[in-house]
Structure 1
Amino acid sequence: MRELGFLAPLSNCRHLKRIIFSNNSFIGILPKSLGLGNLSASLEIFVPNNCGLKGLIPNEIGNFNNLILLELIGNDLIGTVPDALGQLMRVQSLLIGRNELMGPIPANFFNIENLYHLNLRENKLSEQLSSCFGKLTSLREIFLDYDKLTSTIQSELWTNKYLRIVELSYNMFIGSVPPEIGSINTMLDLHLLGNQLSGEISTTFGGEIPNGGPFKNFTSEFFINNREFCGASQFKVKPCKYNRTRLSIENRVLKYILPSIAAVLCLAISVVYLIRCRSRNALLAAQSTSPTTIKRISYDEVLNATNKFGEENLIGKGSIGSVYKGIFSDGMIAAIKVFNIDLEGANRIFDTECQILGKIRHRNLIKVITSCSNLDLKALVLEYMPNGNLTKWLSSSNYFLNIAQRLEIMIDVACALEYLHHGYPSPIVHCDLKPNNILLDEDMVAHVADFGIAKLFSEDQRISMSKTLGTIGYMAPEYGLAGIISPMADVYSYGIVLMETFTKKKPTDDMFVGEFTMRRWVFESFPDTIMDIVDVDLVNAIDNNIRAKESCFKSVMGLALECTTDLSEERLLMKDVLTRLKKIKMESC
């Protein structure tokens, strides 16, 4: 079998960071020389998915010491998983599913400290699951289904208390379901279908069948042959012996759906909330500067404050819910963000917002008054922003912001991001900065909102996510392409918003097609024809000092271009962006 000839010359490219050629019809093997040249020190992303790769995975791939993402999914690779992959000490996502690989998972995999996502599904991996999985403290997502793994599921796997997704279905595991799983309160999905597990399910799982939510329409047929479940009589399972009220104080419990066939135990876990509508003490303590006295807010109070979520109270709609203006009986006015609990991921986003907003406090960040959570409602009660969002001021001819106001708003936003990135022990990345998420109070002071997909992680760590949830046009290339998140992703988004604020042109405008992006439009106008792209309302405003205006626009757009470079390491830090903006305000605008 021939090597893929076009790859070999790339080994000498000392600055190449990304190689992606997925979904093609190549037939050949990966050249060993690829990992022997200058490329081994520069490459960060290597993604040849679904393109007919044959033969062995060459050991030389282990020389890519700066690789963050490796995807070889859906090829015809054979042999064993090479030990050399364990040398990829910076790799965060390792995806080699849907191939023909055999043998064990190499022991040195468990030395990869930054490994976040591991996908070896749909291969022919055998032998037992290593107890060393517990050493991978950064690991959050494991996909090992449809392999041939044997023996028991080692209890050491569950020493990682931050696992989110564990997929071990259709292997040959035996023994019981480890009770340690019940202590992992971050778990979103656990799949153990199609194995040969036996024994009792520990009560630490919360295995009780819930009565509310989607379960209220279930019949006993959904739980046939699951004799160890307990719950209501209509499910034809045994009654629960423990006190149900004990579970109601938990923020999250795991629920189980185990429709099994013969001796196969089929188990899936998802999150259900059984807490009554109440304020979260940890979150409220961090919001001591809220505009009104903190108090418990009931579901009925929320309903009455919004006139039963009437259209006349609707402020706006988003991808995961709606925001209503609420007027409470004591005269308090608030914005009530109601999550659509029928949407996948809405509960997780609600939890994330509560977690993040409970840790932070800054004058340019939206403040939470309280939260309300039960089976029927997930809502955040937020400080009300009477002047709406930045989108309203940029997209309507009925509103106008002068140069000073626009610059002040962007300084406010920079202050918020500078605090998130540098003012907290662990940096927080917003991940979805855009004009819709920049709210304006009665004094036109900007507040950054919507932390539903924000990420909290340790200094200098970059996270690779399997799914990106940001907004097209505002996402950094590394985030939109590979799901790699760092504070630099926020810097990129900020640069795009900065461009939009002074041009009133959206990055998703019809004029931006293919490689002709908003950044390229600004870049090609900079610096000589910059006045041609600036918002005409600013240019036409009565002002004799047109040269000062031009100087201001050049400074702002130059900064925006520095924030939006393709390579994340070439972008400015947010604290430096803020310093530059303040200098521009003093000297140019």
Structure 2
Amino acid sequence: MLPVCIGNFSTSLIRFYANSCKIKGRIPNDFGNLSSLLDLDLSANSLARSIPTTIGNLRNLQRFDFSNNKLTGFIGDHICKLQHLGDIYLGQNQLSGSLPNCLGNITSLREIHLGSNKLSSNIPPSLGNLHDLVVLDLSSNNMVGSLGPEFGNLKVATLIDLSVNQFSNEIPREIGGLPTLVHLSLKHNKLQGCIPNSESNMVGLEFLDLSNNNISGIIPMSLEKLQNLKHFNVSVNKLYGEIPLRGPFKNLSSQFFNYNQALCGSSRFSIPPCPTSTKHRLNKKRLLVLFLLLGIILLFALITSVCVWIRYRIRKRAPQQADSLSAIIREKISYYELLQATDALSESNVISSGIKVFNLQVDEAFRSFDTECEVLRNVRHRNLVKVITSCSNLDFKDLVLDYMPNGKKLVIPQTNVNAQENEVNPTHGMRTHNRAHTLEPVPTLGVPPVPTSLPRAPRTNVNHPLTTQRDISNAEFSMRAQMRKFASALLDDLVLECKGAMLNWELDFASLTVDIQQVEEKKKKIAESKEKDKKEKRARSTDRNPSQQQGGNWGKK
């Protein structure tokens, strides 16, 4: 036993060690007189009874170790007077009751060892005030309640052991905010819910034991990031789903996953393989659809780019041709200029004449001339002179063709006359006779040289851009006849195309009309059938009551 006179030791005593000395009895109250004591160690003895309240007088005490004894009773509030206390060792005793709420006021605490006792209360929320707490051991007690969010405030904790208690409800997500935590044991409790994904943030974690609880759900794949994890035990729970294979799970054995609800995965864990889940198949389908959409978008973008590039190239080439024709197409030639160029439409400047009949009873008769001129203006052929414009009034109609200066060289295609190079004069042609009008587009062609024995027609206003020839050889007439046939064939093709388009439209309209007629006939038949049904119902009602009708008739008589 410790003697009572121990309290007579010098007040300057700083350390008192009596561990593993087989001391029995109780801790004397006289220890409270050692006011300068900093470290008190009475561990591994057989000390009994309760902790004396005089311990609260040791205001300078920084550490006391009463572990591995037979102490009983409660942990009193007198401990909270030790404001310089850093370490508490009271494990392996028979202490009961609850933790004092004022324990969180000793902000200097670094280690709390209260394991293997009979404590039976909740963890006080004030424990979250111990921001410098490194070790918290409350294992092998009868503590109850939930694990509160205050655990998230223990930022520098390296060991938390709450195993073999009666804690219930879920594991708090805030526990994942402890990056320095190395050891976490929550085994043999009544914890429920899922394993929080936040545990993957505890990058320094080496030991994690969640066995013998009621934890359900899946093992988060995010735990594969815990590269320092060496021990992971989730046996005897209600977990299901696939066991992760990468990271620390590559070195774990099957015993750490036994006795769960429906875990699956690799054969080395002695569990059945995982079937392809519906969610996994849906994700694959979504990825396939996404890739198809991306492919379609890229293809559409490529086609659009090619079209834009082709259109750009066409526009880049078009201005040169448009500039060369703009002066001709947009040029306005007056009737006075035509008279001046052809000597008042002199007979000597006529190339050829013909008949074009207009039906004046039709409203659009004169507009057909403008339409034909527009068609001729849009016709392009290497053997046809371009039509610049037209000039017309009630008594006069004329076509203005492209001027071909002397020296222009062309080759005659598909003629009986040998193809030769020759000078070509500009040509214009239009004659009017009463209400019949001649409309002759004249091609500019190269023809064989005229024999010297034949007289050549005099030229009028050779330097003017609008001049005509007078005499034409037989070969030239034949060639012009062929070109007229060619132009007429082109016009016939255009007319046929227009008629075909009109015929298609008429056929579509006729089919639509037939459909409408069929619908109307069906409506009419339905109405007739309804009327017929009404008449039959009336006849049936009349047949059912013949006696009433006869009685009514006798009464009238």
TM-score under structure 1 length normalisation = 0.37
**Highest relative contact order (Cα 8 Å, sep 6+), 1 or 2?**
1
More helix by share: 2
Larger radius of gyration: 2
